Structure 1
Amino acid sequence: MTGPFDLTGRRAVVTGASRGIGLAVADALAAAGADVDAVGTSLRPGTSEVERRVAAHGRRCTVHACDFADCGAVLALGEALVASGPVDVLVNNAGTIRRAPAAEHPLADWDEVLQVDLSSQFALTQVVARPMLERGGGKVVFTASLLSFQGGVNVPGYAAAKSGVAGLTRALANEWAPRGVNVNAVAPGYVATDNTQALRDDPDRSAQLLDRIPAGRWGRAEDVGGAVVFLASPAADYVHGVVLPVDGGWLAR
């Protein structure tokens, strides 16, 4: 593969890579030529689907276990990644969600979601991006959400965190674009993953959502992979601070 989307020889780190969007992103990056460091809460060498998929493209996959609710573990992961060689692409996809009405939302759930979905993303990016800044090149892609633009229902911590991810994307782009590091985000819409299982299991709510989506279907994790490959590739060298919806047209409705 050659051309503006070619990632041959690049090393990409993908967090939350054991399933769903992260797994699909790792697969897509490997298909574009990248070697992949896959990070998940319970990933173990030789046992994961992400290793199988990356290997099927003839690329190397190294797996790492990390709990993103533990900031110390996240910082240690970042140092280990940097120590093992240059990282060209960092995809911050790890995340969690907790559902409860705002008035009854447990503060422990709020704290966990903000830590996993926002604070740990920043902590890992700080460590991994420093060498990118020193050498004047690299790509950082966050996973934002439709709730980076909207408020959602019964997910106050998630909405706050994903709004923070959008702001962080722009803030880092402002500082790092002059130094050759691209920082952008994808904002998946209603994608059929574990995070949306409760919505898909509710026939009335699912029908309401599908009626609003111009594409007329739930998104697939693979739909997000192509957008991440674009933002990670030379084709996006002049793209900075963008939060790119991958939503079947939801925000256009």
Structure 2
Amino acid sequence: MSVRTSGPTGELTGELTGEPRTEPTGELTGKVALVTGGSRGIGAAVAARLAAAGATVALTYVHSEKQARAVADEIEAAGGRALVIQADLTHPEAATAAVEQTVRDLGRIDILVNNAGFLTYGPLTEVTIEELDRVLAVDVRSIFLATQAAARHMTDGGRIISIGSCFNGRVPGENFVLQATAKSALVGLTKGLARELGPRGITATIVDPGPIDTDMNPADGDSADFQRGLTALGRYGEATDIAEAVAYLAGPGGRYITGTAIAVDGGYTV
């Protein structure tokens, strides 16, 4: 099999990687956030950052309950509250169930961060039906279903934030057709959501990461020099860079931003 598919991107942050915790800001106090794929990498960094801003955070994982619990423990050690949910988003019912459990256990949902996804690459001619279905199930269908479920509960001020990819604006070479297809679907979805949910005071946005140093795409990996060379800054970003953008969009600063994508890519798409 030439198409290589991995799980939700990332690594743990804060105490778990030796990085300093983000100081609490209180901007999201009283809010409840659900972060899919929140057990590591970008998702873990987002969960920790939203909790530092005062939100109660639910986070999903697929296989590693231990990693998810470590993220939750770090949030709670800092005085926050976290809920861990097992959710295999390749199954259609899982995304909706995660939202409903969040509302049931935490009382509401104000912020949905659609982070779970697969880093996928390989020749177009060798992509199998199974690989296509798996990527679209997680990177497109689960986002649609989670958003649909969350929209039933959100009130004015709700935020729907999806983690996209720099491939939304630029495909630098071959072997990325499936990844680019899946992530580009978020653009149409987000624009449609902005129009439909805007009258209810709910925003919909995308954060498009560039090369981010995670266990799935390490800054010392085989393709790292190539990826660095595609950025204007000449370096990888950190998971916390994406988390900061998400926190901004989830907070007061994001109240008039909707239907668009924010590139956090070091100039990858320049």
Task: Tell whether the structures are fold-level matches, with TM greater than 0.5.
Answer: yes
2:257 is aligned with 1:222: no
- How many residues align structurally? 246
Name which of 106, 121, 124 aligns with 2:143.
Answer: 121
Q: What CA distance in whole angstroms lies between the structure 1 residues aligned with 2:57 and 2:66?
A: 13
Contact 1:43/1:64, CA 8 A, preserved across alignment: no
Shift, 1:141, TM fit: 0.4
Match for residue 209 of structure 2? Answer: 188
Unaligned runs of 5+ in 2: 1-22
Q: What CA distance in whole angstroms lies between the structure 2 residues aligned with 1:99 and 1:248?
A: 21
Q: What CA distance in whole angstroms lies between the structure 1 residues aligned with 2:238 and 2:83?
A: 25
Q: Secondary structure at the match of 2:235?
A: coil
2:215 is aligned with 1:177: no
Match for residue 261 of structure 2? Answer: 243
Match for residue 98 of structure 1? Answer: 120
2:80 is aligned with 1:62: no
2:251 is aligned with 1:233: yes
Residue 149 of structure 2 aligns with an amino acid whose one-letter code is: V
Contact 2:165/2:207, CA 8 A, preserved across alignment: yes
TM-score, with length taken from structure 1: 0.90
Shift, 1:200, TM fit: 4.7
Q: What CA distance in whole angstroms lies between the structure 2 residues aligned with 1:33 and 1:246?
A: 23
2:133 is aligned with 1:111: yes
Shift, 1:97, TM fit: 2.7
Q: State the Cα deviation string for residues 166-209 of structure 1 (Å, max 9, x = none).
A: 22111101111121001111000011124324x8522xx42222
Change in Cα spacing, 1:56 to 1:217, as seen in structure 2 (3 Å) is farther
Match for residue 164 of structure 2? Answer: 144
Shift, 1:42, TM fit: 2.7
Shift, 1:83, TM fit: 2.8
Change in Cα spacing, 1:122 to 1:83, as seen in structure 2 (3 Å) is same
Match for residue 7 of structure 2? Answer: none
Contact 1:30/1:36, CA 8 A, preserved across alignment: yes
Change in Cα spacing, 1:66 to 1:180, as seen in structure 2 (3 Å) is same
Q: What CA distance in whole angstroms lies between the structure 2 residues aligned with 1:191 and 1:23?
A: 13
TM-score, with length taken from structure 2: 0.85
More helix by share: 1
2:59 is aligned with 1:42: no
The 10-residue stretch of structure 1 (75-84 or 59-68) with the greater mean CA deviation from structure 2 = 75-84
2:97 is aligned with 1:76: yes
The 10-residue stretch of structure 1 (157-166 or 69-78) with the greater mean CA deviation from structure 2 = 69-78
Shift, 1:220, TM fit: 0.8
Name which of 42, 45, 50 aligns with 1:29.
Answer: 50
Change in Cα spacing, 1:72 to 1:209, as seen in structure 2 (3 Å) is same
Q: What CA distance in whole angstroms lies between the structure 2 residues aligned with 1:6 and 1:32?
A: 5
Contact 1:98/1:109, CA 8 A, preserved across alignment: no
Residue 248 of structure 2 aligns with an amino acid whose one-letter code is: F
Shift, 1:90, TM fit: 0.6
Residue 122 of structure 1 aligns with an amino acid whose one-letter code is: F
Q: What CA distance in whole angstroms lies between the structure 2 residues aligned with 1:2 and 1:109?
A: 41
The 10-residue stretch of structure 1 (206-215 or 162-171) with the greater mean CA deviation from structure 2 = 206-215
Q: What CA distance in whole angstroms lies between the structure 2 residues aligned with 1:46 and 1:112?
A: 23
**Deviating runs (4+, > 6 A) in structure 1?**
none
Name which of 231, 240, 246 aligns with 1:213.
Answer: 231
Unaligned runs of 5+ in 1: none
Q: What CA distance in whole angstroms lies between the structure 2 residues aligned with 1:45 and 1:192?
A: 22
Shift, 1:80, TM fit: 2.1
The 10-residue stretch of structure 1 (147-156 or 157-166) with the greater mean CA deviation from structure 2 = 147-156
